[in-house]
Amino acid sequence: MIQHKDHFHGSDLEKIEAIYGIKKDEIVSFSANVNPLGISTKLRTSLSEHLDAITTYPDRDYKDLKNCIANYAGAEAEHIIVGNGSTELISLFIQITAPKKAMILGPTYSEYEREITLNGGKTKYYPLPASKDFQMDVEDFKSHLTEDLDLLILCNPNNPTSTCIRSNTMREILDVCKESSIYVMVDETYIEFVDDISACSAVSLAKSYNNIIILRGTSKFFASPGLRLGYAITGNEDLLHQIHKYKNPWMINSLAEVAGKLMFQDDDYIQKTRTLIASERKKLYQMFLDSPKYTPFEPTANFMLIRIDDPNLDSGILFERCIKEKMMIRDCSTFPFLSDRFIRICFMSEEDNARLAKCLLEA
């Protein structure tokens, strides 16, 4: 297992408070990848009317919520499983399928490797080359999908590179995996931030491929990491049966159930988020592209990976510089395949982004 050094996770504001003496409420987190608009307006105004929901057990089948998700994500309601954030579903899926050898991209989100190792499996990395902007060479990638693998995990868009695999490519990958009996788990935590969701999401493929499971959450797009509401989509009947057999009877609480129904239908909020992120993404990418100090990698999600080209700077220096101004960026030195030449930032409000860009570009 590749060693992941200690680092400030995007949510470790308590550590920052203790070390730097800055109140956590005053810190703008450019590291947590959470929607800057805060929670959905519909949720804010209506959740309190539903507090009595906790006086009863939730519907064991979460029928209304699943119908709502089906409608929102373009999936079949009977293909959906809800869970305590996508983290619980990643864990449950890996526990049930117990992969012996899994392939993941490098760099990617660290939780996959941790879960695989905890369940006694081995991880093989497929490195995405920085020299090719972290884009996958699809033909080469397919040639690495060999029969000794039993699971492939793709984060789409990928954290931290913000690169995206389009669904026509995903179909090619699924075809090769099907031939070699490799299951494919696609983590779509950030998919709703991309410009063309239907061209990038694998949800429509779950209807015709039985070797895919897609995971999604509400923590990032709906700014609700504390709610712990995630869902998985798969058309594989055996897997659905296994998950139903092993999961707890109530995977999410009554308030998360109500909250989900409210936010998935808040079209205004969804549109506002997409518009804000699309315009800030374009603006910030251009600003860093114009700077001789940095190389930004073209982002498709709500965050961007940046290489530091100025030899007088590194990720630690930039982290310190920003945190002193109460802005927290992600120092990427702890990601396997990256180093102290990389940082990741997410897109926040227009004003906060301008303040961060000034701080980094004038470093």
Burial of 51 (0-12, 13-18, 19+ CB in 10 A): exposed
Q: Which residues contact 175 (CB under 8 A, 6 or more apart)?
A: none
85/260 with CB nearer ligand PLP: 85
Question: E strand or H helix at 186, and its extent?
Answer: strand 183-187
Residues that bind ligand PLP (CB under 6 A): 85-87, 109, 155, 159, 187, 189, 217, 219, 225, 230
Q: How far is the CB of 363 from ligand PLP (least distance, A)?
A: 26
85/121 with CB nearer ligand PLP: 85
86/291 with CB nearer ligand PLP: 86
β-bridge mates for residue 231, sequence order: 82, 216
152/176 with CB nearer ligand PLP: 152
Q: How far is the CB of 84 from ligand PLP (least distance, A)?
A: 8
29/189 with CB nearer ligand PLP: 189
Q: How far is the CB of 291 from ligand PLP (least distance, A)?
A: 26
Measured in degrees and rounded to the nearest 5, phi and psi for residue 213 equal -130, 135
Q: Which residues contact 208 (CB under 8 A, 6 or more apart)?
A: 235
232/313 with CB nearer ligand PLP: 232
Q: How far is the CB of 164 from ligand PLP (least distance, A)?
A: 13
Q: How far is the CB of 358 from ligand PLP (least distance, A)?
A: 27
Q: Where are the alpha helices (DSSP H) in 123-202?
A: 138-143, 167-179, 197-200
Give the SS3 label for residue 239.
helix
Q: How far is the CB of 213 from ligand PLP (least distance, A)?
A: 14
CA angle in degrees (0–180, nearest 5) for 52-56-57:
135
Asked if 218 and 187 count as a contact pair (C-beta separation under 8 A), the reply is no
